[in-house]
Structure formats: structure tokens, C-alpha cells
Amino acid sequence: MKVSIGLKKKYRISTVLFYRIIVLYSCEGSGAAPAPPLAVCLRSIITLTTGVLSCCCNDLILFMEQTYKIAVAGMGGVGGYYGAHLAKTYEGSPEVSVSFVARGGHLQAIRDNGLLLEKDSGNIVAHADQVTDDPRELGKLDLILLCCKGYDLERFALSFADNITDDTVLLPLLNGVGSTAILQRLFPKAKTLYGCTYLVSRIVSDGVVRMSGDMNQLFFGHPDMDRKELERIEAILGATGVNANIHDDIRLKIWEKFSFISPLATATAGLDSTVDGILENAEHHKALENLMQEIVLLAGHENVALPGDIIDNNMIRLGKMPAGATSSMHNDLRNNKNTELEMLTGYVVSKAMEHGLALPAYNKLYTLLKGRVPPGG
């Protein structure tokens, strides 16, 4: 399925004008007057065409320059999923180009064989227009999907400094609620959206991303951005088969997700326990509830009114998770890898201090975790 983003019409208009000129001068010699010499016709065509093209140059330049250029930055589970759908849909399209920014063996495998997305509903092999580890090769970009880990966001985003103009749209799809503010600080003139995604996927080997289950939902928006521009992005994404929707209260949507993943990550990592282990231990269960209550309190001070049943609903979701399930932050800590501690736990503690709030459950586990994370993690 292809999506028109307003370019074909401009091309057709300019083309029709040109051909009308050709017809006009082809018929100039009809009737009583003899046909003028070919050279005269050609000079006249060039003269009049130049005049018409001068009038239409804005349209022609717009057509030539306005292929909508998308970069998917970070080809892990999230970037791999959305990148595969985008590249597969728009392969060979004159209207939308899709590039991948990856690194290491994953980069080379995607270059050599394309990106394989494994899904229960059917696999996708996608070939992007460009695959690189150097964003400077991509030129100016219209839309950048930032799909890296939170601890990498600032460094990774700055590598796109040469690609970002006042018209570039930045869509962060990371855990946490602070990504948009970071990008707005780095690129104050760019159009930075709020975004969040519900998706279970991961890299299983170089060049291969696996989606588990059928949960697939992306929400994005910004209260101050032109609605037509948001709708264009929604159409481009939606044409790929993913569930992408503008949300009119996008900050609420992000905080709803954060109210689940932040307490989950903080509790499983801080208590060094699986989800079912926490729920079966009365003391740990209470600690988890306290974290959730503190998130609701903080959200209110951030002018986000979470639903009154958010804690009950989050507990029900946790109860449905399989035995042995835990958070990625807990897994990363176990494996001595970088963690998203600052984005998922430290952010809450920092914001609470700004508002003068006492959040004892978060403070206790954050202090504990700070002593466990590897340097730089």
C-alpha cells in the first residue's frame, strides 16, 4: 500500500503545463500561415517553457526535493520492528525513503542480507535505501525515529546534528518520560514529539529481530504541532500495517506506561526478584504497591492525572506475566550491562526533589541500586 504525501499532484501539474506548451507550438503552423522553421519552434518552446517553469519553479523544486526521508535510529527490538515495516512498504518508493542506522555485526548483516523480522503472522525481509553507522551520510532528514536505550539517547541524538533542520520531526520511542525534554534541549528548533510504544521484540542474532505475541501499538503526538503534519506521519506509519495513532493527550499515555514499567524495573532490580517472586512475598508486594502510589503522586505534580484504577490495573497485568518473568533492567543488572536506572528510577527521584516530594520507596531502592550498577550504567 502506498501513501500519497502531496508530491504526485505537483508533478502532474507541472507535466501537464509542459505538454500543453508542446501542443501549442506543434499546432502553430496550422491554417493559412505556414509552419515556422523547427528552430524557431524550439526557441519559442524554450522561451515560453522557461517562463512557465519560472512561475512553477516552487512546485518543481518541491517535487524534486521533497521525497520524505525517514531514518530509523537504533535497530534493536523496537527500531527493528518499525524499521522493517517501513522499509518493506516503501522499498523503491519515490515519495518515501527509509534508512537504518545500526552498528557492529548487526549493521553488516543487514547490509548483506536485509533485516529479517520474525513474527507469528509471517516473516518480513526488508531492505532499506541506506544502512549505515554514520548518520552524516544520510543528509537532511524529515523524520527520525529514535529507538536507542535511554542511557545512549543524548550521545546518539547528537550524532544526527547535521541531519536535523527546523522542519525535522524527532519521534523518541524509548522507555521513560524524559526523552522529549532531552531532545528539545539539544535541538530547540526541531519538531520533537512525544511517543511511546507497546511492543515485545528483541534482537535474536545479527540481522534478525523477533517479535513475540501480537501486541503492537504506537502512540505519538504533541499539543502544539500542526495537526496535518501529525496526520501525515500517522498515514505514512499506518500504511505499513503497524498500529500507529495520534493521541490527543500523549503525555497521559506516556505516564500510564511509565506507571507500569518504572515500578516494575525498580522493584525487580532493587529486590533482585522475578515478578512472581515479588507478588508471592508480602513485604515485597507492599514495596511494589508503594512505588506505584508514589508514581501516581509524582504524575499529579507533573500535571498528569492518572486514572484512579491505574494501580489495580497494573497489578492485574503483573499477575498475568509468566513465571520467572522480570524486567530488562533486572536482566541487564544481572549480566553486568548498562542499565536504564537513571531513566526509570533516577528520573523519579530527581523530579520528586524538584517538587519537594518525599518518595521513600523510590529513594530507598534508588540508593540501593546506585551501589550495584556497573560504572557508567
Interval 58-81: pLDDT, tens: 433 333 358 999 999 999 999 999
pLDDT band at 27 (very low <50, low <70, confident <90, very high): very low
Please give the pLDDT value at position 308: 96
Q: How confident is the model at residue 377 (pLDDT cuts 50, 70, 90)?
A: low
| Alpha-carbon gap, residue 147 to 95, rounded angstroms | 23
* Inter-axis angle of helices 8-26 and 38-65, nearest 10: 180
Q: Report CA-CA distances (Å) from 296 to 34, 86, 142, 270, 283.
A: 86, 36, 36, 20, 20
Distance CA 318, CA 326 (A): 10
3-class SS of residue 101: strand
Alpha helices in 91-226 (DSSP H): 104-113, 153-158, 179-186
pLDDT per residue as tens digits for the range 240-255: 999 999 999 999 999 9
Q: Quick check: 25 pLDDT over 60?
A: no
Grid coordinates belonging to 295: 508514581
φ, ψ at 132 (rounded to 5°) = -150, 165
**In whole angstroms, what is the distance from residue 371 CA to residue 333 CA?**
11
Highest mean pLDDT of the ranges 9-23, 50-64, 283-297, 320-334 = 283-297
Distances (CA, A) of 48 to 24, 42, 64, 99, 299: 11, 10, 21, 40, 64
Q: What is the pLDDT of residues 38-63, one digit of tens each?
A: 444 444 443 434 444 344 434 333 33
Helix, strand, coil % in the chain, rounded to nearest 5: 50, 15, 30
Tens digit of pLDDT for each residue in 112-127?
999 999 999 899 999 9
pLDDT score for 215:
86
Q: Is the pLDDT of residue 138 over 80?
A: yes
Structural contact between residues 5 and 232, judged by C-beta atoms closer than 8 angstroms = yes
- The predicted-structure confidence for 269-316, as pLDDT tens digits, reads as follows 999 999 999 999 999 999 999 999 999 999 999 999 999 999 999 999
Calculate what percentage of the chain has a pLDDT beyond 90: 78
Higher-pLDDT residue of 3, 257: 257
Residue 356 predicted with pLDDT over 80:
yes
pLDDT at position 147 is 97
Band (pLDDT 50/70/90 cuts) for residue 332 is very high
Span 253-370: which CATH code? 1.10.1040.10
Same CATH topology for 68-248 and 253-370: the answer is no
The helix (run of H) or strand (run of E) holding residue 219 is: strand 208-221
Domain boundaries along the sequence of the chain:
8-64, 68-248, 253-370
Q: What is the mean pLDDT of the chain?
A: 86
Which pTM does this prediction carry? 0.82
Question: Where is average pLDDT lowest: 30-34, 185-189, 203-207?
Answer: 30-34
Interatomic CA distance for residues 100 and 143, integer angstroms: 12
Q: What is the CATH number of domain 68-248?
A: 3.40.50.720
3-state secondary structure of 360: helix
The answer, yes or no, to whether residue 128 has pLDDT greater than 80, is: yes
Residues 25-43, mean pLDDT to the nearest whole number: 42
pLDDT-derived band at 12, boundaries 50, 70, 90: very low
Separate counts of helices (H) and strands (E) for the chain? 15, 11
